[in-house]
Amino acid sequence: MFNAFKTFSVLSPLAFIAFLSTSFLLKNSIKQTDTNKVKPNIIIVLTDDQGWADVGFNGGSDIPTHNLDRIAKEGVVFSNGYVSHPYCSPSRAGLLTGRYQARFGHDCNMPYHGENDETIGTPLSEKMISEALKEQGYITSAIGKWHVGDHPKLHPTEQGFDYWFGFPGGGMNYWGIPDGPLKTIYKNGVEVSQEELSYLTDDFTNEAITFINENKNKPFFMYLAYNAPHAPDHATKQYLDNTKHIEYAGRSIYGAMVNGVDVGLGKIDSTLTALSIKDNTIIVFLSDNGGRVEHADNRPNRGHKGMLFEGGIKVPFCMSWPAGLSGEQTYAHPVSSLDLFPTLLNIAGGDAKLEKQLDGIDLMPYLENKVDGKPHELLFWRSSGGFEYAIRKGGFKLYKSAYKNKTLLFDLENDPLERHDIASFNSDIVQSLEAEYTKWNSKNIAPRWFDPHEKNVIKEETKFKNKRANSLSPKLKKG
Ligand code: CA
């Protein structure tokens, strides 16, 4: 050994250089291999009440969303991307657990006023994506609106998030003015003074950038849940300037709130690039439900937040991952926010099949064309314990609508805008979809609390009908 080494080192300087080069190349190739195996960072960006057409990547043209559109172009746009509920809290409960929230009775918003007790909200017995990713070695962070458990025992830090900056409730003014325990900004449970805050959208962006900088060398998971563009309608001069071309004031302010998110995503994207971690960072973007009744744009879809028409449950939805997913793709088969948990867990090195409770599907084999077919044969929605429900099976969608006080059937392949109810001459399909719902619902539990949704539906629909009636000629009104 000694002689051989001596001979090699003394007599073969060229060989030694070759050895060093080989060693360097090997090292590099090992590094490359390791890089391929490095767990990607994961960022889920959730907006609140943003409409289908309120992004450029779905054809919107009045609100500037250039950063978001670029991120969408770098990845996959889901053109039939659904959430599991048409409004805030239950939709978030579904996304975070990968389960239909009716499984654990979370299909109503929590009571708004005052701090609810620890039995109201997603229970700790449900496993959240944050907990699953922590098991894979991720550092986890929740920033923004929480709204799946008001009580401190149900806050993000109790649900697998190492770090939390945000407010517990369903909505808050954007100036950070505290208004009770649900509408106060906390950092890991400690109240943040209003002086430290500027405009919540910017504050959340800044926190996100700090978290990324501090954790750039670890695999991290960030759940960045902006409350924009949910009411109240507050915006900064900078963002209002960016939408001053929109003449209708309500839309212009709403657009400014969306633009604030877009500017934030631009800064986050630049941070990832500057730290050389952008390629191996997954960014998922979606809205928690369809666009709000006023100022959002769900066109051409029918309906809005709260309804189970497409406009209430189909949302702007995209996912980018430069190192792992080809860009410039549109995926048209229906996908669900429930799919994020298994998809991201498997990417992170876990095994979603071992998580028996999940209702979502790992989308990666579909996005990579490794399997044929559709991720979902069936998708279900249930509001207020079945006050409203919907089933999508293939191209058909059944909607038991409280708004319209009847059960509607649509052939989405030929009527994607839900203009023609075909229930009355397809009773066999109606019956079969009703049977699917009954079977699915037998594995759910009753809502563990109720919200005013039923009352609101009746109020809204009455107002809608009265306004239409009042537009008629006096002769017809008399008739
Ligand atoms: Ca919402």
197 Cα: distance to centroid of ligand 1 (angstroms): 23
> Ligand 1 mean position to 321 CA, how many Å?
26
- pLDDT of res. 116: 79
**Ligand 1 center–CA 323 separation, angstroms:** 31
Taking alpha carbons only, the member of 295, 289, 294 closest to residue 308 is 289
CA 12 – ligand 1 centroid, Å: 71
CA 49 to ligand 1 center in whole angstroms? 4
pLDDT single digits (tens) 329-370? 999 999 999 999 999 999 999 999 999 899 999 999 999 999
Which CATH fold topology does 39-371 show? Alkaline Phosphatase, subunit A (3.40.720)
Residues annotated catalytic, as ranges = 88, 147
- 303 Cα: distance to centroid of ligand 1 (angstroms): 15
Give the Cβ contact number of residue 267 at 10 Å: 15
Of 264, 206, 285, residue with least CA distance to 48: 285
DSSP symbols for 149-196:
B-SGGGSGGGTT-SEEEEESSS---TT----STTSS-EETTEEPPGGG
User: Phi-psi category of 289—alpha, beta or left, where left has phi over 0 and alpha has psi -120 to 50?
Assistant: beta
Helix (H/G/I), strand (E/B), else coil: 430: helix
| Distance between Cα 464 and ligand 1 center (Å) | 22
**What pLDDT was estimated at residue 37?**
65
Give residue 114's pLDDT: 66
- Contacts with 382 (C-beta within 8 Å, 6 or more apart), sequence order: 100, 102, 107, 388, 389, 441, 444
Q: What is the pTM of this model?
A: 0.92
Please state, in angstroms and rounded to a whole number, the distance separating the CA atoms of residues 173 and 444.
35
Residue 184 has a CB neighbour count (10 Å cut-off) of 18
CA 425 to chain centre: 37
User: 346: number of CA atoms within 13 Å, CB side?
Assistant: 17
- Do the domains at 39-371 and 379-452 have one common CATH topology? no
What is the third-level CATH fold of 379-452? Arylsulfatase, C-terminal domain (3.30.1120)
Phi-psi region of 18 (alpha: psi -120 to 50; beta: other; left: phi over 0): alpha
Please, what's the b/e burial string for 25-55 (b: 16 or more CB within 10 A of its CB; e: otherwise)? eeeeeeeeeeeeeebbbbbbbbbbbbbbbbb
The pLDDT tens digits of the residues spanning 202-222 come to: 999 999 999 999 999 999 999
Ligand 1 centre to CA of 53 (Å) is: 16
Q: Which residues of the chain have pLDDT under 70?
A: 1-37, 113-115, 478-479
Reading the block at residue 262, the tokens are: 């877009």
Are 155 and 182 in contact, with CB atoms under 8 Å apart?
no
Tell me, in angstroms, the distance from the centre of ligand 1 to residue 381's CA: 16
The DSSP output letter for 304 is -
For the chain, which residues make up each domain, given as ranges? 39-371, 379-452
On whether the CB atoms of residues 219 and 39 are closer than 8 A, the answer is yes
Q: 309: closest CA among 424, 415, 441?
A: 415
The pLDDT of residue 73? 98
Residue 136: closest CA among 32, 37, 33, 269: 37
Three-state DSSP at 429 gives: helix
Q: β-pairing, 163-167 with 186-187?
A: antiparallel
Residues 285 and 46: their CA atoms lie apart, in Å, by: 6
Place of tokens 């079969």: 432
Round to whole Å and give the CA distance between 219 and 133: 10
- What is the whole-number distance in angstroms between the Cα of residue 90 and the centre of ligand 1? 9
